[in-house]
Amino acid sequence: MALVFSAGISSLEIAAAREIFGVARTYLADPWYELVACVSETVRSCDACRIDRLCGPEQLVDAHTVIVPGWPDVTREPPADLVNALRDAHTAGARIVSADTGAFVLAAAGLLDGRRVTTHWAHADLLAARYPRVHVDLDTPYVDEGGVLTSAGGAATLDLFVHLVRCDHGAAVAKALAHHLVMPFQAADEQVPAAASPEPGPDDRVLTDVLSWAAERMDQQVTVEDMAQQANVSRRTLARHFRAGTGMAPLQWLLAQRVQLAQRLLETTHLSVEQIATQTGMGTAATLRRHFSRIVGVPPDSYRRWFRGRDRGREGPASLTWR
């Protein structure tokens, strides 16, 4: 795995790459990654980065994965030797990854043409204007287009790097890594509860009415029997409607809604975990912590710290640079 270095490049992505890929984590998977720094321009040393192996752009063609951190100056073209090396690496089958404004380097190499990508919000309009064949999407923290992946920068880069670990080593290893880093993780089969739940079809009035009724009572101990009585159907019929309309059993849907509400309250309020447990119908803080940790991947308190740290990172253009 090769990490591109250039003068003034973002230290945040360098540190994230080193933490995820440059630390030997053979206790999770063996072999782990071998991280090499590709120096495209003259740079001064950075002891904090602690990456011992160095290479030149011409050696990117031998890498399995190439990571381009946030580019320090989007008004200047990246070096021609780096652009050509990225093209050669992609042609050779390397996975090309950009963080933040690193997308400008990939776009200059023509690797983003016709692709959906993301970048830092402060530079998205410029990327779209300069490269009209690139489809910029700011509604997602990262985009996986197969052999080319991009992130919005900041904490979203950590999300993308953990996603790479999941692709390479499986969900169990990625989840263990995320737990070690105290950050949320969602395996493929756990994504529905943490995202918007599927909507029922417009013709299913039974399900539409009962979902609306239950959603207004998240702070109460609603049971499947309560929902069946409200819908005036049997529990078996209710379960059939739920499976067809949401892909979940009634209790699964209830739990997903309670966890979603807990996430929103953790993100937008200063309520204690105990208070949130009451408002989400979980009853006790212990119950909330158990279900929240299982579905989201971290405890509620850790999720709040992580979310607010990420939110602060999106308040303005990135200013950290590597010297």
Residue 300 contacts residue 292 (beta carbons within 8 Å): yes
pLDDT tens for 147-199 read 899 998 888 888 899 989 988 888 878 888 888 887 776 554 443 333 344 44
How far is CA 170 from each of CA 167, 174, 187, 298, 309, rounded to the nearest angstrom?
6, 6, 9, 18, 27
Query: Which residue type is seen at 291?
Result: H
Burial letters 45-56, b for 16+ CB under 10 A, else e: ebeebebeeeee
Q: Whole-structure pTM over 0.95, yes or no?
A: no
Q: Of 190 and 32, which is predicted with more confidence?
A: 32
The pLDDT, as a whole number, for residue 247 is 77
Q: Of 296 and 211, which is predicted with more confidence?
A: 211
Residue 89, token pair as written in the block: 């690496």
Residue 150, token pair as written in the block: 């991009």
Average pLDDT over residues 262-282: 92
Q: How high is the mean pLDDT of the chain?
A: 80
The pLDDT, as a whole number, for residue 126 is 92
pLDDT above 70 as % of the chain? 82
pLDDT-derived band at 204, boundaries 50, 70, 90: low
Does the structure show a pLDDT above 50 at 93?
A: yes
pLDDT tens for 104-131 read 999 999 999 999 999 988 888 999 999 9
Omega prior to 69 cis, within 30 of 0: no
- CA pair distance 67, 84, nearest whole angstrom: 15
The pLDDT, as a whole number, for residue 74 is 87
Average pLDDT over residues 87-100: 90
- Alpha helices in the chain, H assignment, sequence order: 11-17, 80-91, 103-108, 124-130, 155-169, 171-181, 191-194, 205-215, 224-231, 235-246, 250-268, 273-279, 285-296, 300-313
Burial letters 224-246, b for 16+ CB under 10 A, else e: eebbbebbebeeeebbebbeebb
Q: How many helices (H) and strands (E) does the chain have?
A: 14, 9
Q: What is the largest CA-CA distance in the chain?
A: 73
The pLDDT, as a whole number, for residue 40 is 64
Does the structure show a pLDDT above 70 at 52?
A: no
